[in-house]
Structure 1
Amino acid sequence: MSLFIEPLDWDQALLQRYDLAGPRYTSYPTAPQFQEAFSETALRNAITRSNNAQRPLSLYFHIPFCESLCYYCGCNKIVTNNKSRARTYLQRMIQELALYVDLFDQYKQVTQLHWGGGTPTFISDEEMSLLMNATRRLFQLADDDSGEFSVEIHPGRVSVKTMAHLRNLGFNRVSMGVQDFDSRVQHAVNRYNTLEQVSELSNALRAQDYKSISMDLIYGLPLQTLASLRETLSKVIDLNPDRLSLFNYAHMPHLFKSQQLIKEQDLPVASAKLDMLHYAIHTLEAAGYRYIGMDHFAKPEDELSRAQDAGKLQRNFQGYSTHGDCDLLAVGVSSISMIDNVYVQNAKELNTYQQKMDMGLLPISKGFTLNAEDQLRRFIINRLICHCRLDFAELKTCFDIDAAHYFSAELAQLAPMQADGLLTINSQGIYVHNKGRLLIRRVCMVFDEYLQKAKQDSSRIRYSKII
Structure 2
Amino acid sequence: MLDFAKFTKYSKPGPRYTSYPTALEFSDAYGYDEYINKLESQDSSRPISLYFHLPFCRNACYFCGCNVVFTSKEDKMIRYVDYLKRELKILSSHIDCNREVLQMHFGGGTPTFFSASQLGEIIKEIKKTFPNFREDAEISCEIDPRHIDEDQMRVMSEEGFNRVSFGIQDFNEKVQTAVHRVQPYEMTKAAMDLARKYNMVSVNVDLIYGLPFQSLETFKETLDLSLTLSPDRFAVFNYAHVPWLKKTMRKIDETTLPLPDEKLQIMQYTIDFLTSNGYRMVGMDHFAKPEDELFKAIDKGELHRNFQGYTTKGGADLVGVGLTSIGEGVDSYNQNFKDMKEYEAAIDAGKLPFERGVVLNEDDLIRQYVIMELMSNFKLDINRFNEKFDVEFKTYFADAIEALKPFAEDDLLTMDESKIECSHTGTLLIRNICMPFDAYMKKHAASSKAFSKTV
Same fold per superposition (TM over 0.5):
yes
Q: 1:136-174 deviations in whole A, cap 9, x for unaligned?
A: 111134263x11000001012211331122111111100
Q: Which whole-Å CA distance do the structure 2 matches of 1:226 and 1:260 have between them? A: 24
Q: Which whole-Å CA distance do the structure 2 matches of 1:462 and 1:444 have between them? A: 16
Which stretch shows the higher mean deviation, 280-289 or 109-118?
280-289
The percent identity for this pair of structures is: 40
**Against the structure 1 CA distance between its residues 460 and 222, is the aligned structure 2 distance closer, same or farther, given a 3 Å change threshold?**
closer
**1:45 match:** 37
**Against the structure 1 CA distance between its residues 140 and 461, is the aligned structure 2 distance closer, same or farther, given a 3 Å change threshold?**
farther
**1:464 match:** 452
Q: Which whole-Å CA distance do the structure 2 matches of 1:418 and 1:206 have between them? A: 45
2:27 to 23, 35, 39: 35
- In the superposition, the TM-score normalised over structure 2's length comes to 0.95
Q: Does 1:55 align with 2:43?
A: no
Q: Does 1:157 align with 2:141?
A: no
Does the 8 Å contact 1:390/1:431 carry over to 2?
A: yes
**1:75 match:** 66
**2:107 match:** 116
**Against the structure 1 CA distance between its residues 108 and 11, is the aligned structure 2 distance closer, same or farther, given a 3 Å change threshold?**
farther
Does the 8 Å contact 1:418/1:425 carry over to 2?
A: yes
Match runs of 1:345-384 below 5 Å: 345-384=335-374
The amino acid that maps onto 1:72 is F
Q: Deviation at 1:461?
A: 4.9
**Against the structure 1 CA distance between its residues 428 and 64, is the aligned structure 2 distance closer, same or farther, given a 3 Å change threshold?**
same
1:16 to 8, 26, 48: 8
Q: Does 1:89 align with 2:77?
A: no
Does the 8 Å contact 1:51/1:108 carry over to 2?
A: no
Q: Which ranges of 4 or more aligned residues in structure 1 deviate by more than 4 Å?
A: none
**Aligned residue pairs, count:** 455
Give the SS at the match of 2:42: helix
Match runs of 1:435-454 below 5 Å: 435-454=425-444
**2:91 match:** 100
Q: Which whole-Å CA distance do the structure 2 matches of 1:347 and 1:108 have between them? A: 26
Q: Deviation at 1:414?
A: 1.5
Q: Deviation at 1:266?
A: 2.8
Which stretch shows the higher mean deviation, 126-135 or 409-418?
409-418
Q: Deviation at 1:204?
A: 2.2
Q: Does 1:322 align with 2:316?
A: no
Q: Which whole-Å CA distance do the structure 1 matches of 2:303 and 2:108 have between them? A: 24
Q: Does 1:204 align with 2:204?
A: no
Q: Which whole-Å CA distance do the structure 1 matches of 2:324 and 2:220 have between them? A: 36
**Against the structure 1 CA distance between its residues 143 and 315, is the aligned structure 2 distance closer, same or farther, given a 3 Å change threshold?**
closer
Stretches of structure 2 lacking an aligned partner (at least 5 in a row): none
2:423 to 425, 433, 436: 433
Q: 1:403-458 deviations in whole A, cap 9, x for unaligned?
A: 12221122111122222222222221322222311111111101100113443xx4
**1:183 match:** 173
**What is the CA RMSD across the aligned residues, in angstroms?**
1.8
Give the SS at the match of 1:279: helix
2:131 to 126, 140, 144: 140
Match runs of 1:413-428 below 5 Å: 413-428=403-418
The amino acid that maps onto 1:168 is E
**1:392 match:** 382
Q: Which whole-Å CA distance do the structure 2 matches of 1:275 and 1:389 have between them? A: 23
Give the SS at the match of 1:51: coil
Q: 1:189-240 deviations in whole A, cap 9, x for unaligned?
A: 1112221122122222122110100001111222223332222111100100
Stretches of structure 1 lacking an aligned partner (at least 5 in a row): 1-8
**Against the structure 1 CA distance between its residues 20 and 429, is the aligned structure 2 distance closer, same or farther, given a 3 Å change threshold?**
same
**1:130 match:** 121
Does the 8 Å contact 1:335/1:346 carry over to 2?
A: yes
Give the SS at the match of 1:100: helix
